[in-house]
């Protein structure tokens, strides 16, 4: 077994036990351990993605790809179990505009960055192209197209949601106004200084 795998599983087990204890400072420590687990697993996965696995050709036993995937997923699950209402989780699972933008843009940015690194480290060395500017231009066109498509889809979704909200708000305001004007009783609203700020037709006829 790789030492990195052993340390990761020790951290994972310790974090799980700390989570079960429900002691506040231990839970905070388990959150920090989960973040460390995710970072270590992600670094190993990036090594495989860029065709440069870590610790290979060294005296240290490397971490296998399935193990690295399990380590990363375990860290993510541990963070969710620690507090599914935490700010870190709400940033991606909430219904706010910020959460929706993060869910849409962050994976796209990460994906484009990973693809760029993969092309530069894996594909380009085997293409034997005399003019690397062509390959770079093709990738730039691809990345621009993908990001533009994502922005277009997201803007339509969020813009549509905003339009529906504004329409519902306008209809609610019209309904309130009709109810307000049809009241037989006089209605008057004043501010803290006694200045009249709103009245209905019944009050105005008095």
- For residue range 104-136, list pLDDT tens digits in order: 777 777 877 777 777 777 766 666 655 666 767
Tokens of 30: 């388990």
Query: What pLDDT is attached to residue 83?
Result: 66
| Bridge partners of residue 198, in order along the sequence | 189
Q: Which residue has the tokens 């006089």?
A: 186
The length of the chain in residues reads: 206
Distance separating alpha carbons of residues 116 and 109, to the nearest angstrom = 11
Burial class (CB in 10 A: 0-12, 13-18, 19+), 85: exposed
| Gap between the Cα atoms of 141 and 205, Å rounded | 68
**How far is C-alpha 49 from the geometric centre of its chain's CA atoms?**
22
Judged against a pLDDT cut of 80, whether residue 72 lies above it is answered with yes
The set of residues, in sequence order, having a beta carbon less than 8 Å from that of 103 and lying 6+ positions away, is: 92
Question: In whole numbers, what is the pLDDT of the chain averaged over residues?
Answer: 77
Helix (H), strand (E) counts: the chain: 8, 2
Residue 33 has pLDDT above 80, yes or no: yes
Predicted model pTM: 0.55
Torsion of CA 78, 82, 88, 90, to 10 degrees: 110
Asked if the model's pLDDT at residue 88 lies above 70, the reply is no
Higher pLDDT, 86 or 32: 32
């Amino acid at each position: 077994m790789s030492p990195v795998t052993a340390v990761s599983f020790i951290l994972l087990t310790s974090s799980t036990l700390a989570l079960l204890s429900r002691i506040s400072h231990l839970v905070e420590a388990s959150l920090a351990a989960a973040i460390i687990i995710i970072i270590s697993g992600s670094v190993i996965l990036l090594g495989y993605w860029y065709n440069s696995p870590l610790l290979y050709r060294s005296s240290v036993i490397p971490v296998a790809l399935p193990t690295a995937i399990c380590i990363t997923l375990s860290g993510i699950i541990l963070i969710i179990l620690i507090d599914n209402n935490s700010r870190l989780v709400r940033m991606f699972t909430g219904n706010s505009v910020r959460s929706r933008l993060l869910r849409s843009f962050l994976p796209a940015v990460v994906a484009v960055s990973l693809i760029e690194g993969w092309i530069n480290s894996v594909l380009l060395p085997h293409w034997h192209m005399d003019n690397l500017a062509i390959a770079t231009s093709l990738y730039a066109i691809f990345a621009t197209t993908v990001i533009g498509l994502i922005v277009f889809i997201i803007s339509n979704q969020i813009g549509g949601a905003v339009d529906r909200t504004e329409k519902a708000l306008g209809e609610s305001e019209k309904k309130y106004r009709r109810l307000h004007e049809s009241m037989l009783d006089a209605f008057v609203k004043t501010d803290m200084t006694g200045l009249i700020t709103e009245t209905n037709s019944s009050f105005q006829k008095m």
